[in-house]
Amino acid sequence: MTALDVVFRLGRRPGAPEMQAIYQVREVYGIRKISFDDDGLAVRVEYDASRLCENTVAALLRRAGLDIRDKVALV
């Protein structure tokens, strides 16, 4: 297993329907953790890179209704 983190900036804060859909994303094999920053405008996902790629993670979040704008560079 290769655990990686990716952070995406959001265009708007997720509402109740999006948060409910995130619970389904958490059940996807390879997704380890999903968390939001304090203001709700960024989401961090820890995932297993041997199972998923960054583009797949972004697609899962978009399908859940999150308004992903861009990837944040981690330092």
Q: Are 8 and 60 in contact (CB under 8 A)?
A: no
Question: How confident is the model at residue 71, as a pLDDT?
Answer: 96
Per-residue confidence in pLDDT tens, the chain, 75 aa:
899 999 999 999 999 999 999 999 999 999 999 999 999 899 999 999 999 999 999 999 999 999 999 999 877
State the DSSP H helix or E strand holding residue 24, giving kind and residue range, or none if neither: helix 16-26
Q: Enter the pTM of the model.
A: 0.92
Domains of the chain (ranges plus CATH)? Answer: 3-72 (3.30.70.100)
Q: Half-sphere exposure (CA, 13 Å, Cβ side) for 41?
A: 4
Nearest to 31 by CA among 10, 45, 43, 17: 45
Which residue carries 């041997």 as its tokens? 50
